[in-house]
Amino acid sequence: MYPIRNAENYCEHAGSGIYARFKTLFAKSEARALRNYVGRGYLPIPLGNAHRASYWHEDCTNANDKHYLAVEFTSQLGARTVQYIAAVDTEKAPDRGLGDLPTPEKLAPSAPRLPMQLRRAFSFLTMLAFLLVTLEFIMTRGSVVDPDIWWHLRNAEYLFQHHQFPRADMYSFTVAGHPWINHEWLSEIPYYLAWRAAGLSGVGAVMFATVSLIFLGLLYLAYMETGHFKASIVACCFLTFIASVSFGPRTILFGYLYLVLLLIILQRFRQKGNAPLWLIPPLFCLWANTHGSWSLGLIIFSIITAAGFVQGSWGRVDAQRWTPAQMGKLVVTGLASVAALFVNPFGWRLVFYPFDMAYRQRLNISHVAEWVSVDFHDVRGKFVLALLLTLLVTALLRRTRWQLAELGMVLFALYSGLTYVRFLFLLAIVIAPVLARAVEFVPQYRPEADTPLINAFVICLMIGSVVHYWPTSAEMQKSVSEKYPTQALSYLKAHPPDGPMLNFYLWGGYLGWNDRDLRVFIDSRVDIFEYAGVLKDYLDLLNLEHSGTILDKYKIRYVLFPQPGGYSESALTYVLEHDSSWKVIYKDHLTVLLERSRDVAHKAVTTAQ
């Protein structure tokens, strides 16, 4: 505590105006306000807290009127008032020395305050971030029934056991030995290691962690673009329902995580003119070995870079040119990123694969469910429709101005997401900052109204709920049994088929993973089966076109398909059940196993309970 120096020279600050003066100065700059008031005689009273300062002022018009102001510095608002006291005395003070000034003990707030670190750790913003992660847990819980995960695990197992990549088909009898490249080998390793550590629960944990990281990165991206944390939370929670089309133990999730990281780096470069662009080529190297969605990242990078080569305004669209130094950095980064794509075990063939899928795998794109367009009649389609209406209304009412790069990315993402539901996740990532701006009417965060203890209780409650409701191995297995022929597999192991078996497309990977002696007709590695013509034959079987000829072509003796009515593909089951050439030898609630009747006239039908 120190006395005021030269107080008589600053009578213009007397009376209650000192409070307004402090508020104005601190609103502009806390550091400048400190320098000004220390220099003018308003010295801080140490209160034992590095983030709080107190100021005492004696009214120049009446030496007995004293004003005390305590302020606290925060990272959000700069400074806020903790305590203000105006003491008015009608009698002249006999002494204005140190003994008359208020002590820190007398002026400290009566209510105990949490340390600043704890207040930040358990702020309302932290609680909202945990709420977002909890939503991702709810949306991904138990989603381990993706048909690709089984052969992904088998590929990774082969890599770890033999220390080499499978370069030809080893899982089917229809394309056995045909050349094949595993273009997603790097993304299979985390799932396989998790499976070895904790089974299906480990696989689910990797999926949940990846989805959570994606949306936390998306939250950061939207917040840095808008400065509105609560609006960013609202946008990310809404977009979760649109992106859920790709939830599951999918390798593409790692590609979307890389995309978010790429956008964060480019956003910082655009806003500050400097960013670690050197991270982008290694990112593309990892991406190319992880999933073919690297091509989406290269398109996004090209749009952002190209938009900075022009400058001007066209209606509500603005563009700002890169500086020559920035252009040079982006061009070098782009060329290095393209070169980094070729650092992979398969060379140019892996880099060419996304184009191979787009132009050669026509049956894949036209018949696989994730390649269909958005259906506005289902729930996810209605979320997409709500997003489109929100963007339209916002553009009309607020006369929104767009940056050329942002507009280009949004148009590309809208086309991709509306044309193929597979890319709705891409749309969610690109549109997040735009949607956050559209919902800026959400009230801003007010630190002075924060309640850290309540926030901490809610955070602990959410963590406890995630732990309590984490799916057990039994629940995981039950989920698998509802989608895959677990009971029929037990029968096949007890009665190994002695001839080729036609299996349902979605079950091929599961059958091969759980019975290594069983060679399947087809699995969800669509590319290799389309190249060999097997996929076309399979689709003709489903459409009941030349069924007998195709069954004879592959010398099919057994057929394992869903019960009639279970899937649209089960029409073949119904036809074969009513064909005298085939006989049912096993059935359960999900599957039917048939065998050519000329060899099994003496066999009884086995029915699982």
Residues 6+ apart with CB under 8 A from 30: 73, 78, 79
Higher pLDDT, 277 or 369: 277
The mean predicted confidence, pLDDT, of the chain is 83
Q: How much of the chain, in percent, has pLDDT values that exceed 90?
A: 65
Task: Give the residue from 307, 264, 265 showing the smallest Cα distance to 411.
Answer: 307
Task: Flag whether pLDDT at 47 surpasses 90.
Answer: no
Task: Flag whether pLDDT at 452 surpasses 50.
Answer: yes
Run of H or E residues at 402:
strand 402-403
pLDDT at 144: 77
CATH T-level topology, domain 484-607: Rossmann fold (3.40.50)
> What is the tens place of the pLDDT at every residue in 592-608?
999 987 654 445 556 66
Task: Flag whether pLDDT at 422 surpasses 90.
Answer: yes
Task: Name the phi and psi angles at 70, rounded to 5.
Answer: -115, 130
- For residue 564, what is the DSSP state? B
Where does residue 475 rank: exposed (0-12), middle (13-18), buried (19+ CB within 10 A)? middle
How far is Cα of residue 135 from the mean position of the Cα atoms in its chain? 12
> What is the tens place of the pLDDT at every residue in 212-258?
999 999 999 999 999 999 999 999 999 999 999 999 999 999 999 99
What are the sequence ranges of the domains in the chain? 7-113, 124-465, 484-607
Strands (DSSP E) found in 124-267: none
- The neighbouring-strand residues paired with 83 are 70
For the ranges 84-98, 337-351, 492-506, the lowest mean pLDDT is seen at: 84-98
> What strands lie across the sheet with 312-314, from one edge to the other?
312-314, 317-319, 402-403
Q: Mean pLDDT across the stretch 3-14?
A: 38
Run of H or E residues at 72:
strand 66-74
Confidence band of 111 (pLDDT split at 50, 70, 90): very low
Alpha-carbon Rg for the chain in angstroms: 33
Q: Are 151 and 512 in contact (CB under 8 A)?
A: yes
What is the rounded distance in angstroms from the CA atom of residue 307 to the CA atom of residue 566? 50
pLDDT at 609: 54
> What is the tens place of the pLDDT at every residue in 255-300?
999 999 999 999 999 998 889 999 999 999 999 999 999 999 999 9
Task: Flag whether pLDDT at 477 surpasses 80.
Answer: yes
Q: Mean pLDDT across the stretch 510-533?
A: 94
Q: Are 582 and 576 in contact (CB under 8 A)?
A: yes
pLDDT at 76: 43
**What are the tokens at 224?**
């840095």
Q: Are 557 and 497 in contact (CB under 8 A)?
A: yes
Q: Three-class SS of residue 217?
A: helix
> What is the tens place of the pLDDT at every residue in 50-86?
444 544 444 444 444 444 455 554 444 444 444 444 4
Task: Name the phi and psi angles at 592, rounded to 5.
Answer: -135, 130
What is the rounded distance in angstroms from the CA atom of residue 114 to the CA atom of residue 51? 12
How many other β-carbons are positioned within 10 Å of the β-carbon of residue 248?
20
Q: What angle do CA 210, 216, 220 make, to 5 degrees?
A: 145
pLDDT at 467: 94
Q: Are 78 and 27 in contact (CB under 8 A)?
A: yes
CA distances (Å), 581 to each of 452, 457, 578, 596, in order?
Answer: 73, 67, 9, 6
Q: Mean pLDDT across the stretch 395-420?
A: 92
Confidence band of 537 (pLDDT split at 50, 70, 90): very high
> What strands lie across the sheet with 606-607, from one edge to the other?
501-503, 558-562, 591-596, 582-587, 606-607
Q: Mean pLDDT across the stretch 115-139?
A: 91
Q: Are 263 and 223 in contact (CB under 8 A)?
A: no
pLDDT at 59: 46
Higher pLDDT, 418 or 74: 418
Q: Mean pLDDT across the stretch 105-114?
A: 49
Task: Flag whether pLDDT at 195 surpasses 80.
Answer: yes
Confidence band of 116 (pLDDT split at 50, 70, 90): confident
Q: Is 399 left (phi over 0), alpha (psi -120 to 50) or beta?
A: left
How far is Cα of residue 66 from the mean position of the Cα atoms in its chain? 56
Q: Three-class SS of residue 62?
A: coil
**What are the tokens at 136?**
């991702």
For the ranges 96-100, 171-175, 445-449, the lowest mean pLDDT is seen at: 96-100
What is the rounded distance in angstroms from the CA atom of residue 520 to the CA atom of residue 541? 16
SS3 content of the chain, % helix, strand, coil (to 5): 60, 10, 30
What is the rounded distance in angstroms from the CA atom of residue 442 to the CA atom of residue 228? 9
Task: Give the residue from 186, 408, 401 showing the smallest Cα distance to 313.
Answer: 401
> What is the tens place of the pLDDT at every residue in 303-346?
999 999 999 999 899 999 999 999 999 999 999 999 999 999 99
Task: Give the residue from 363, 375, 369 showing the smallest Cα distance to 569.
Answer: 369
> What is the tens place of the pLDDT at every residue in 168-185?
999 999 999 999 999 999
- For residue 25, what is the DSSP state? H
pLDDT at 42: 40
Where does residue 421 rank: exposed (0-12), middle (13-18), buried (19+ CB within 10 A)? buried
Where does residue 408 rank: exposed (0-12), middle (13-18), buried (19+ CB within 10 A)? buried
Residues 6+ apart with CB under 8 A from 109: 70, 82, 83
Run of H or E residues at 160:
helix 149-162
